[in-house]
Structure 1
């Protein structure tokens, strides 16, 4: 592995609007998705917006999962970031897609912290 972590950026469409607007259910689904992937959950924080929508984060030992929902559009933006090679972020992302009863999911994987060889980096003002 040449990277420190893998970051999945998921666009999840055609979700059940009631699920997307239920803070407790979204929180439970996010935690279950993290656990399904084998992650170790550390902390959770979720917020219900008025009149609709939920945002939240599940902090895991391996990094984090985040979500922001638009129930009126049946859409959720989800990030799953895992460090190391013990956890597969796709497992959490795919399981969450099922739990949201989504019709479609597109996602991109970004490799984070790619190091080809040891380097010395000097901080600079950019």
Structure 2
């Protein structure tokens, strides 16, 4: 078990240069975020995703025992904002790696904040 000095780590990621079609499918994004949570060792409690209509983006959240993962997408800008907050032994960096591999952004900007 990994022990951290703070209760949790909050990873904020900007994915730029993502293919637009990867940012408009709420079912695919939900599956990818659930898989990312599992890859990080987190326990999924529930998920809710909303699509804003033809050609528009998706907003969604996966609730975890360890906190949450959320995404907000703007396919017209080939951009997604990700928020990964996990506490305990869950490893948010593994969730980030999983999502980066699936969405294949051209560039990624990450900010990690120790919480607590």
TM over 0.5: yes
Q: What TM-score, normalized by structure 1, do the two folds share?
A: 0.85
In the alignment of these two chains, the number of paired residues is 112
Unpaired runs of 5+ in structure 1?
114-126
Aligned to 1:100: 103
Q: Check if 1:65 corresponds to 2:69.
A: yes
Superposition deviation, residue 2 in structure 1 = 2.4
Structure index of larger Rg: 1
SS at match of 1:79: strand
Q: Aligned runs of 1:27-106 on 2, under 5 Å?
A: 27-51=30-54, 52-84=56-88, 86-106=89-109
**C-alpha distance in 2 between matches for 1:102 and 1:11:** 9
Moved over 6 A (4+): none
Inter-partner Cα distance in structure 1 for 2:67 and 2:25? 24
SS in 2 for 1:82: strand
CA RMSD of aligned residues (A): 0.9
Which residue pairs with 2:9 in the alignment?
6
TM-score, length basis structure 2? 0.92
